[in-house]
Amino acid sequence: MKCSSNRFSANTIGSTSSMCSQLQQMVTLLLMATAFCAISVVGSPTQQPQQLQKKEQLELHNHHTTAIRVQQCRDGCLEKFSTKSPLCQKMPKCSMCLNECIHRDQSKATSSIRETWSLRTVSMVQHDSLVLVDVAWEQSSTPFQCLVTWEVSGGGLMGNLLTESFGVQLSLWPDTKYRVQVTCKNKTSSEVEKLRLCSPFVSVGNVWKERRTELGQLVSTKTVQSHIDIIKDCAGKMTEYINSQDPNTVWDIKDIANRFTCGVMTKYIWGMDENTFQHEGNYSPTHRMATNMLNQAMRCVKYYGRTACFPFLRKVCPVRFFPAPTEEYFIGLAREALQDNELKSSVLSRLIQLNAKNDLTYIQMAGHTTTVLIDGFETVAIVIAHCLLMLAENQRVQNKLRTYLIECEEPETCYDITTNTYLNQCIQETLRLFPPLATLFKICTEPITIENHMNGSKVELKPGDVIYISSYSFHHDPEFYDEPEKYWPERFDEDLGGVQRYRDMGVFLPFGEGPRMCPGMKLALMEIKIAIMELIRNFELVPSYNTRYDKKIDSDSFLLRVHGDIHLHIKPVA
């Protein structure tokens, strides 16, 4: 009897020995009359398909591909552990890498697998010239997919099958020693990804606190302030791009705004200079990936809406939030950028600092980079586009803003997002009319009774209740805002109480409210301000023959935005 193990038994090897003695007793009894069976449990419930492929490769090319093995091992280590870990990092240590990796995997493994699953032989019965062996493992509430492989010990004949049940019957030769392996992966987590789960948006409890604190450092006031020049530089490229085209061009300003925010984000996060304005009629590689990622996320949110009453459908037919190739792309990007000796952005440096403190994995670090990108680039672009549309339609406001920007005695105050300038008022008024996230979702954590002051009725809420708050409804309610459909930035004048007055009433919520309030607000506002300043100082925005005046909202989008393209003329200021 042999209980063999394998490097991919990362989380399981430790348990094998304890199971082994159990099995030995059972098997010894049965085997005397029938067959020998050596069983090892391989893998963990969360193992990814990619790892399965690696395992197959590893075993198939056993003697020829040491280099590949070492590389795979290193990749595995870096994903599982962290950049801090000296494990598998340096070329000279390659030969030791595999052993160290296995060793570390083993020590990590023991506890987790014992809690989660174990493998056992239920029966072995001789039937004619074969032995029918029932092998079973523990049931789980999460959908699993398991690959069962068996081979004659010492190499040789092999069979395999894929199952979603918790046991299989194998037909084996008698008097033969077999090695049976079961590798399970959690269907949900492998098909519905790694990066999304790193966002505070989808986290709760202590995990949320950790993720939120980490992310907060990547978008803190200090970090944002230190990136003003980067944002200005991208805004300068936007001006050059517009100037390089025919002044009579009818522009799709959503597209312009998107190129701007994507350019800012690639520089802000990875320190990469991808001039997103150079790829005319096309997008830069990162812009393309980000767009694919976002579009799929939007489809997924829609799917969640449609299945709200039948959540079990999501288990039967899971839909990815981010497409797998984009996920691989951004994990690769993060890994490369973080391994580079010269860290090219302060976000990367912060991630390394966080890693030193919290021992983050590559996936977690990559997760933070995609959170900043995906939560930021489209929302910010939409606000810029809507603001430009409003300014084009309201020449009075546009002229007043331009005069203010040109005459601004202390240009530095323009970059201060807290001072109540006319620029800020124009942006806030845009956010009021078009809050990109028009509905907030909250989960009740303690019992509370909410009273309707209009008619005295009461609603009792209990922990776990989901609350939807329509910021859009508050923003458009004539009870709080005079002529709510009018674009009138002066409503936020300091003399009238400023934005704070509406926030105090709880009726101005473009970035949400409470502990879950948007952590990217400062970054978003800084980008919007710099883009609007640049364009209004240099250009006049004029509606074109096909500008949408009806402001019909895109009913197909999770983010609130005007339907279709937003067309405008952008003419150099005379």
Residue ranges that bind ligand HEM, judged by CB under 6 A:
199-201, 212, 215, 219, 371-372, 375-376, 379-380, 383, 436-437, 440, 510-514, 516-520, 523-524
d(CA 49, CA 52): 5
Cα 509 to Cα 415: distance, rounded to the nearest angstrom: 22
Handedness of CA 460, 463, 466, 469 (dihedral sign): positive
Cβ atoms 194, 232 nearer than 8 A: no
CB of 215 to ligand HEM, least distance (A): 6
For residue 217, the minimal CB distance to ligand HEM (Å) is 11
Burial 51-84 (b: 16+ CB within 10 A, else e): bbebbeebeeeeeeeeeebbebbbbbbbbbbbbe
We find the least distance from the C-beta atom of residue 416 to ligand HEM, in angstroms, to be 18
Closest CA to 550 of 349, 422, 428, 393: 393
Between 187 and 516, CB nearer to ligand HEM: 516
Residue 153 in contact with residue 189, Cβ under 8 Å?
A: no
A 10 A CB-CB count for 121 gives: 19
> 366, exposed or middle or buried, with CB in 10 Å at 0-12, 13-18, 19+?
buried
262's tokens: 């994507």
Residue (41 or 380) nearer to ligand HEM, CB: 380
Q: Report the nearest approach of ligand HEM to the CB of residue 340 (Å).
A: 23
d(CA 481, CA 476): 7
**Is the Cβ of residue 78 or residue 219 nearer to ligand HEM in the bound state?**
219
Closer residue to ligand HEM (CB): 54 or 386 = 386
Whether 3 contacts 38, CB under 8 Å: yes
Q: Report the alpha-carbon distance of residue 453 to residue 140 in Å, rounded.
A: 48
CB of residue 155 vs ligand HEM: minimum separation in angstroms?
50
Residue 146's beta-bridge partner residues? 163, 184
Crossing angle of helices 362-393 and 521-538, rounded to 10°: 40
- What is the nearest approach in angstroms of ligand HEM to the Cβ of residue 520? 2
Q: Which is nearer to ligand HEM, 157 or 207 (CB)?
A: 207
Residue nearer to ligand HEM on the CB measure, 375 or 540: 375
CB atoms within 10 A of CB 414: 18
Place of tokens 């791009």: 241
Report the greatest alpha carbon distance in the chain. Answer: 98
State which residue, 173 or 201, has the beta carbon closest to ligand HEM: 201
Cβ closest to ligand HEM, residue 372 vs residue 532:
372
Q: How far apart are alpha carbons 56 and 434 in whole angstroms?
A: 52
Q: Rounded to the nearest whole angstrom, what is the least distance from the CB of residue 517 to ligand HEM in the complex?
A: 5
Least distance to ligand HEM from the beta carbon of 199, Å? 6
**C-beta closer to ligand HEM: residue 14 or 519:** 519
Comparison of 313 and 450: residue with beta carbon closer to ligand HEM: 450
In the complex, the smallest distance separating the C-beta of residue 376 from ligand HEM, rounded to whole angstroms, is 3
Shortest gap between Cβ of 468 and ligand HEM (angstroms)? 11
